[in-house]
């Protein structure tokens, strides 16, 4: 009996420490988020004395007013348009280039690929002033495309690498058989490669979407009109207007991150796989 | 280049050793016609919005220019001299160094410890993994705003804890002493989950037999960890360090809602310094010089790091 106890105890202790450690970290992550959601239900006066707990009086109006405002939906709409443009263009342009790189070897093709991967070496911020002047000279300032096109350009390097690797790993016999049967490269790409590549297209699309949905610097530099602002810009403006009315700002933050959280919970497997695979394989 | 870093274990290669595609005739023509149509969109976009701007940054950095008309006022390397003479630049560089330091000394060990705990299946493991990854998915702007509430001296969580102990609530973000510290805590909060996921993916792809074999040979749990698991994780650790450093050099969105780089430039990063001094005042030459310096740092780092630490991958 006593031997069993001495063996069992250290194991239980490590488990206890482990559980305690996990609980501390979980609290560290959850408390700011929970306080934000709950803070949106409080009055400013209550927030001051009771920032942690449940609201004594649930102020549904904070949330309702924002949900009924044109502003909130306009921000989400703008973000949706910019992100959809970015994802669609990234997928089309990158998959075409990746297909060419996967199947055609010509003089300088590996040099061209190397040229594109230069984009992985530095962040968009380094060249943002010349980028602004370029977009202005193209007449794209203050348009959705003025934000989306540079985002696509900076997403290309990683996307092409991920897609090319996947395309190259598809069974080569498929292409040979299709070509012998008189199928053109374009039709093969459209009707065989793309349908077979859904997982990697989902990964690339996820990365592009999350980056575009959360982006701040490029829209900040390229957009002037409030009516075109995506939500990260809009929420900063909102915070500027309601500077210390934290209960309203918290409700607004909650409602703007809500789509992200809902999508994350629904598609968590794909999102985690996409974002980490992009990092590891890219 | 990052594409050659690590192998892709999840994709099963089914490719035949040699491709028997005719080297001439209509098929070959089709092949090149396809390339001629498929490549230009990517090359055009990339050249126009990525490569040209960085080249132009180098050109503009030689001028004193407000962005209107053509640049005419050539000042040579003066902009670089001005940047290097600005105290705020060195503060920003130091802050980037601090972020890297905290990432490597706190964030990565934390992520590794959590990964080791959560890589095994037990009840709640998956939920905890998700929870810890959630901050990474949230926008930097939202995260920054949430924490500017947490740190707020009047309404925030930190203030209420302070008051509970009867102390005067500090305005953490408003003091040059504490602003950067506050930013660093948010950096850890936001990004540890990403690194944890990288480690979990690596642990799950690891050959369990090696661990079993070591256990059978009489190695204790800490010994297995020290001499088997950690060495097998080295490639992932190197990758994780790479991302931590690259991420720190890009950090901007998180800083804006928290401090905008202030007070008195005490919490600027390189990019927020670039924004505050170049972009927001349309000092194109000066801002481009900062951009070029940041570009050099990024490229030098990426190339050196890959040459020294990631040769085999």
Question: Is residue B306 scored above 80 in pLDDT?
Answer: yes
- Give yes or no: residues B272 and B175 share one domain: yes
- Give yes or no: residues B148 and B93 share one domain: yes
- Helix, strand, coil proportions of chain A in percent (round to 5)? 80, 0, 20
- Give yes or no: residues B176 and B29 share one domain: no
Counting one residue from A and one from B, how many pairs have CB atoms under 8 Å apart? Answer: 317
Q: What are the chain B neighbours of A156 within 8 Å (beta carbons)?
A: 42, 45-46, 50
The answer to whether residue B69 sits within a structural domain is no
Number of domains present in the structure of chain B: 2
Please tell me which residue, A275 or B225, carries the higher pLDDT value. B225
**Mean pLDDT on B223-246:** 90
Instruction: Give the Cα separation of B49 and A149 in Å (integer).
Output: 8
Question: Is residue B4 scored above 70 in pLDDT?
Answer: no
Q: Which of A14, A38, A154, A24 shows the shortest CA–CA distance to B192?
A: A24
Q: What are the chain B neighbours of A118 within 8 Å (beta carbons)?
A: 1, 50-51
- Give yes or no: residues B129 and B42 share one domain: no
* Candidates B31, B42, B142; nearest CB to A97: B42
Q: Which of B187, B291, B292 shows the shortest CA–CA distance to B245?
A: B187
CB contact under 8 A, B3 and A165: yes
Question: Is residue B16 scored above 50 in pLDDT?
Answer: no
- Give yes or no: residues B104 and B180 share one domain: yes
Q: What are the chain B neighbours of A97 within 8 Å (beta carbons)?
A: 38-39, 41-43
Q: What are the chain B neighbours of A33 within 8 Å (beta carbons)?
A: 134, 146
Work out the pLDDT band at B123, boundaries 50, 70, 90.
confident
Minimal-distance CA residue of chain B relative to A117: B1
- Give yes or no: residues B128 and B37 share one domain: no
CB contact under 8 A, A214 and B295: no
**CA-only gyration radius of chain A, Å:** 25
* Candidates B6, B194, B299; nearest CB to A122: B299
Q: In the 8-state DSSP scheme, what is residue B13?
A: P
- Give yes or no: residues B99 and B194 share one domain: yes
- Give the global pTM: 0.87
- Give yes or no: residues B169 and B31 share one domain: no
- Give yes or no: residues B180 and B42 share one domain: no
A27-66 pLDDT, tens digit per residue, is 999 999 999 999 999 988 888 888 888 888 898 999 999 9
**Mean pLDDT on B41-64:** 92
Q: What are the chain B neighbours of A270 within 8 Å (beta carbons)?
A: none
- Give yes or no: residues B36 and B119 share one domain: no
Mutation choice for B interface testing from A206, A279, A282 by most B CBs within 10 A: A279
Minimal-distance CA residue of chain A relative to B41: A93
CB contact under 8 A, A261 and B134: yes
Instruction: Give the Cα separation of A121 and A216 in Å (integer).
Output: 20
Residue B44: which domain range?
A: 24-50
The Cα of B177 is separated from the nearest Cα of chain A by a number of Å equal to 23
Residues 8-37 of B with CB under 8 A from A: 8, 10-16, 19-21, 27, 30-35, 37
Q: CATH code at B277?
A: 1.10.3720.10
B248-264 pLDDT, tens digit per residue, is 999 999 999 999 987 98
Structure token digits, residue B133: 């990854």
Residues 70-129 of B with CB under 8 A from A: 110, 113-114, 117-118, 128-129
Which pLDDT score, from 0 to 100, does residue B110 have? 96
- Give yes or no: residues B197 and B294 share one domain: yes
The answer to whether residue B28 sits within a structural domain is yes
* Candidates A35, A176, A210; nearest CB to B19: A176
| Residues of chain A below pLDDT 50 | 1-6, 282
A168 near B CB under 8 A: yes
**Mean pLDDT on B275-296:** 90
CB contact under 8 A, B2 and A271: no
Instruction: Give the Cα separation of B222 and A156 in Å (integer).
Output: 43
Instruction: Give the Cα separation of A86 and A149 in Å (integer).
Output: 7
The answer to whether residue B60 sits within a structural domain is no
Q: For residue B119, give Cα distances in angstroms to A11, B198, B203.
A: 18, 11, 7
Question: Is residue B42 scored above 70 in pLDDT?
Answer: yes
The Cα of A28 is separated from the nearest Cα of chain B by a number of Å equal to 8
Instruction: Give the Cα separation of A130 and B276 in Å (integer).
Output: 16
Which pLDDT score, from 0 to 100, does residue B105 have? 95
Q: What are the chain A neighbours of B160 within 8 Å (beta carbons)?
A: 51-52
Q: What are the chain B neighbours of A265 within 8 Å (beta carbons)?
A: 130
Please tell me which residue, A55 or B5, carries the higher pLDDT value. A55
The Cα of B104 is separated from the nearest Cα of chain A by a number of Å equal to 18
CB contact under 8 A, A236 and B41: no
* Candidates A26, A122, A221; nearest CB to B298: A122
Instruction: Give the Cα separation of B18 and B56 in Å (integer).
Output: 44
The answer to whether residue B10 sits within a structural domain is no
CB contact under 8 A, B132 and A25: yes
The β-bridge partners of B74 are: B63
CB contact under 8 A, A185 and B31: yes
Q: What are the chain B neighbours of A88 within 8 Å (beta carbons)?
A: none
- Give yes or no: residues B29 and B121 share one domain: no
Q: Which residues contact A7 (CB under 8 A, 6 or more apart)?
A: none
CB contact under 8 A, A35 and B150: yes
Write out A219-237 in H/E/C secondary structure.
HHHHCCCHHHCCHHHHHHH
Q: What is the ipTM of this complex?
A: 0.89
Question: Is residue B164 scored above 70 in pLDDT?
Answer: yes
Domain A70-281 class, CATH top level:
mainly alpha
CB contact under 8 A, B131 and A30: yes
CB contact under 8 A, B141 and A216: yes
Instruction: Give the Cα separation of A9 and A96 in Å (integer).
Output: 61
């Amino acid at each position: 009996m006593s031997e069993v106890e001495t063996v069992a105890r250290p194991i239980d202790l490590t488990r206890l420490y482990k559980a305690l450690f996990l609980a501390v970290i979980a609290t560290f992550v959850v408390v700011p988020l929970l306080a934000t959601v709950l803070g949106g239900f409080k009055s400013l006066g209550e927030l001051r004395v009771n920032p942690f707990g449940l609201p004594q009086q649930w102020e549904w109006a904070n949330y309702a007013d924002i949900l009924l405002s044109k502003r909130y939906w306009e921000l989400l709409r703008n973000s949706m348009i910019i992100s959809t443009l970015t994802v669609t263009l990234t997928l089309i342009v990158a998959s075409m280039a990746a297909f060419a790189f996967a199947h055609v070897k010509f003089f300088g093709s590996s040099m061209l690929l190397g040229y594109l991967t230069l984009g992985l070496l530095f962040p968009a911020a380094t060249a943002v002033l010349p980028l602004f002047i370029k977009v202005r000279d193209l007449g794209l300032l203050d348009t959705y495309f003025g934000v989306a096109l540079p985002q696509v350009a900076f997403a290309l390097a990683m996307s092409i690498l991920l897609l090319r690797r996947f395309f190259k790993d598809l069974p080569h016999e498929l292409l040979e058989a299709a070509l012998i049967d008189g199928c053109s490269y374009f039709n093969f790409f459209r009707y065989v490669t793309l349908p077979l590549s859904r997982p990697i297209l989902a990964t690339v699309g996820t990365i592009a979407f999350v980056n575009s949905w959360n982006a701040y610097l490029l829209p900040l530099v390229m957009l002037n009109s409030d009516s075109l602002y995506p939500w990260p810009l809009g929420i900063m403006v909102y915070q500027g207007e309601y500077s210390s009315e934290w209960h309203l700002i918290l409700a607004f933050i909650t409602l703007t991150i809500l789509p992200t959280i809902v999508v994350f919970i629904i598609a968590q497997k794909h999102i985690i796989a996409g974002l980490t695979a992009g990092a590891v394989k890219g | 280049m990052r594409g050659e870093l690590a192998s892709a274990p999840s994709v099963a290669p089914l490719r035949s050793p040699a491709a028997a595609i005719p080297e001439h005739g209509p098929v070959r023509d089709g092949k090149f016609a396809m390339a001629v149509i498929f490549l230009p969109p990517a090359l055009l976009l990339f050249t126009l919005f990525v490569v040209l701007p960085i080249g132009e940054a180098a050109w503009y950095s030689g001028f004193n220019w407000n962005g209107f008309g053509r640049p005419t006022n050539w000042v040579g390397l003066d902009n670089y001299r001005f940047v290097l003479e600005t105290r705020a630049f060195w503060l920003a560089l130091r802050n980037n160094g601090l972020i890297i330091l905290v990432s490597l000394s706190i964030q990565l060990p934390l992520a590794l410890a959590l990964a080791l705990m959560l890589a095994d299946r037990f009840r709640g493991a998956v939920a905890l993994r998700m929870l810890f990854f959630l901050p990474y998915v949230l926008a930097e702007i939202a995260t920054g705003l949430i924490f500017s509430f947490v740190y707020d001296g009047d309404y925030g969580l930190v203030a209420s804890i302070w008051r509970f102990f009867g102390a005067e609530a500090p305005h953490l973000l408003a003091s040059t002493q504490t602003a950067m510290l506050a930013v660093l805590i948010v950096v850890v909060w936001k990004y540890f989950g990403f690194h944890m996921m990288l480690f979990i993916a690596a642990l799950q792809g690891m050959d369990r037999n090696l661990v079993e074999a070591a256990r059978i040979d009489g190695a204790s749990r800490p010994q297995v960890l020290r001499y088997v698991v950690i060495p097998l994780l080295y490639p992932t650790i190197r990758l994780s360090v790479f991302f931590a450093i690259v991420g720190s050099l890009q950090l901007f969105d998180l800083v804006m809602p928290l401090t905008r780089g202030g007070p008195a430039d005490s919490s600027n990063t390189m990019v927020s310094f670039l924004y505050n001094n170049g972009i927001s005042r349309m000092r194109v030459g000066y801002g481009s010089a900062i951009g070029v310096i940041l570009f050099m740092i990024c490229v030098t780092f990426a190339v050196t790091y890959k040459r020294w630490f990631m040769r085999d991958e």
